[in-house]
Amino acid sequence: MTDLPSVQDILSAQRTIRPYIFRTPLRESFLLSERVGASVFLKLENWQITGSFKLRGALNRMWLLTDDERARGVVTASAGNHALGVGFAARAFQIAPATIFVPRTAPRTKLDKLREFPVTVRLAGASYDEAHRAAEAFARETGATFIHAYDDPRTVAGQGTLGLEILEDLPDADAILVPVGGGGMITGIAVVVKSLAPTTQVIAIQPTASPALRDSLRAGKCYQEYAAAPTICDGLAGGIGTMVFAAAQRGLVDDVVLVEEDEVRAAIRALAETQQLIVEGSGAVGVAALLTGQVDVRGKRVVAVLSGGNIDLTISDL
């Protein structure tokens, strides 16, 4: 069985990363609430320092590096947001060298931000899965410490601090809608919620272009690599981790809901027009599910995690 972090691990992570992150607001949206017939709250991780929740996991994992691991330097793979978190942590904790493999399809916005940090960026492959394989090969060849974006209990503990903050601000939430790519964020949130507020539903949202969690659960095996179709949700494309698969099999994830590309685009527009919020496709999937009525939240108190705001401004058809 895959070991998940405990609530105590996540509380420890909260203490570790608190000095380095922005405790993002949980903001009620009255316009969205009126449209869907529920009390809708938005967790604004698009306002996080690096523009994404990924900072939380990267900080906690890299804080816990041993002296030997630090000396060997670090390497990771990322579609963009985890790379920014690793770069921030490398600068904050003075860890070098730090090498980051990203797919050639990574949004230019995220690559430009990486220039702020003391990292070496290598383009590899056309997908996250291909970049991940290249980073693992680099780790084997050089001895660098691999910093996994989602399938490491120390990373997941950092992501789980989101769940603590949501329950601190809205302890009687009925449901939390969580974008799922590799699954580290929903795993951490689910551990917290099902331990401290077990009646609260934790619902995974994925694009139809990459339903790796849904298909893994249907097949009864974990698709750690997944041939995703082209998607505006670049951070959610590809396979899932063994940890989210184990969490879902243990009943910590209540449902998996899929959204279409045009529905995500409509959600991005709605968030910009009605909430004055810039949210990338991966972060808008929860709102897309609400606006299309794919999750029955009428009369309930529901949280949509806006996981990132590093939108690709070259997209012309929003």
Q: List, by residue number, the catalytic residues.
A: 54, 307
Closest CA to 2 of 136, 152, 133, 129: 152
Q: In this structure, are residues 75 and 101 in contact, taking their beta carbons and an 8 Å threshold?
A: yes
Give the amino acid at 236: L
The CA angle 101-191-182, to the nearest 5 degrees, is: 25
- d(Cα 226, Cα 149) in Å, to the nearest integer? 16
Helix (H, G, I), strand (E, B) or coil at 152: coil
Q: In this structure, are residues 145 and 201 in contact, taking their beta carbons and an 8 Å threshold?
A: no
- d(Cα 140, Cα 223) in Å, to the nearest integer? 23
Sequence-ordered list of residues with C-beta below 8 angstroms from that of 202, at least 6 positions apart, any chain: 175, 176, 178, 186, 189, 190, 193, 194, 252, 253, 254
- d(Cα 36, Cα 105) in Å, to the nearest integer? 35
Q: In this structure, are residues 301 and 38 in contact, taking their beta carbons and an 8 Å threshold?
A: yes
